[in-house]
Structure 1
Amino acid sequence: MDLNADLGEGFGHWSLGDDRALLSVVTSANVACGYHAGDADTMRSVCALAAEAGVAVGAHVGYRDLAGFGRRFIDVAPDTLTNEVLAQLGALSAFARAAGTRVSYVKPHGALYNALVRHEPQADAVVDAVRLFDPGLAVLGPPGAVWLKRASVAGLRVWHEAFADRAYTAAGTLVPRSEPGAVLRDPAEIAARCVQLATEGWVRSVGGRPVRIQADSICVHGDTPGAVEIARTVRASMESAGVVIARVESPLRHSRVS
């Protein structure tokens, strides 16, 4: 199982999360590309730290929405969205190359991540951007998402993601952040869920029903309070349960969406 975290989400004098500490725990880093968060200094720093730690670099692309942290849906034209994702991929790739590593995969952020579950025009737009930039990149997202199905048809490698610190509905979707209990806080509870997910393939929904989730990677949000402790507890618990923690780009981890 791969462990990923959203990193590089500071901007200018504003910092968010402990990137250095999280990079000592996770195996893949979703690096903000300057649209929802991040800037040139942050991208270069996080890429260098990831390369030093042997952590895979992923492009955490989002809507052009610094003020809203990329958590507001934007009805952007598909051609424009393709170009904006291309711009983000190009920027992060430059800093990854400067650090002696490369961008290995693409994971949308926030509102874009949620929109691509069902929004077909935007799903096609993001797939087009990845295919045009580098068809060898993998894409990371939730099981059943339209954009992963379109990515698979386009010949891209697909990985499925689950969330360590987010609650699920009985339908297998994330509970909206606006609702109580959407974000989990207790490291022991989160770690136990992750072990169950990795070894048995399911988690319990907010209503108590078991939900099947196919996952190649588990995300620990870098901006969740106590994120470093959560990530360390998750990794230690999973390894104690016999789960092998490996980078998402391992050729054994990819799958196709039927």
Structure 2
Amino acid sequence: MPSTVVIIPTYNERDNIRPIVARVRASVPDAHVLIVDDASPDGTGAMADLLAASDERVHVLHRSKKNGLGAAYLDSFGWARERGFDYLVQLDADGSHQPEQLPDLLAAARTADVVLGSRWIPGGRVQNWPWHRQMLSQGGSVYSRLLLRLPQRDVTGGYRVYSADALQKMALGTVDSLGYCFQIDMLLHAVRARLRVVEVPITFVERTLGSSKMSGRIVLEAMVRVTIWGLTGRGARHSNPASVRSAQLGR
């Protein structure tokens, strides 16, 4: 049976880590969980160690400092592939990605290389966001799609499933975005590798505990990078309809 690991990066998520791990374990009992902590000063790493000590399917990867979301995921991909996991899931620690929807994403992964939990296809939505934040997120996704010629609707979302085979084909050594732009960079690599990318609608829920790591500066930096990519021709250049076309799975 294919094995799955749910990767949860953390930085100062002590209040969120126990409930989100419990929800993952309840939603996909056969899956493993990897908590990747960037030396959180609030004790998140110690809490993660306690969870791992009480559950053999929970693991912790301690990183020495905060180097960005992308760096945490790339390290965790290496950890998971060394241990032979077949499917690698990206999931936020703050509860914005609902573990209860993960079975739908994993079902789609049986016939896809990459599955995106999408807020911007029919059936997808966000909860508890002010209108201006929704416009900023959706606008950033549209801008990136057009400039980089990506067919997917939600290119910045972080709730994803990758097959190990897909990651093998994606030339991860050339992924150089470690911050907010990491998700766009990974999708661009997937499309250029001619992988089958499927979008599944999700409900994204704003966090209720802790503080968001997102800021206007981070978004601006990402859009500057996307603009440079678009102007220098780094966008998706392949047009094989069997592999590049984005499939959208509604409920």
What is the TM-score when the length of structure 1 is the normalising length?
Answer: 0.31
Task: State TM-score, norm by structure 2.
Answer: 0.32
Identify, as 1 or 2, the structure richer in helix: 2
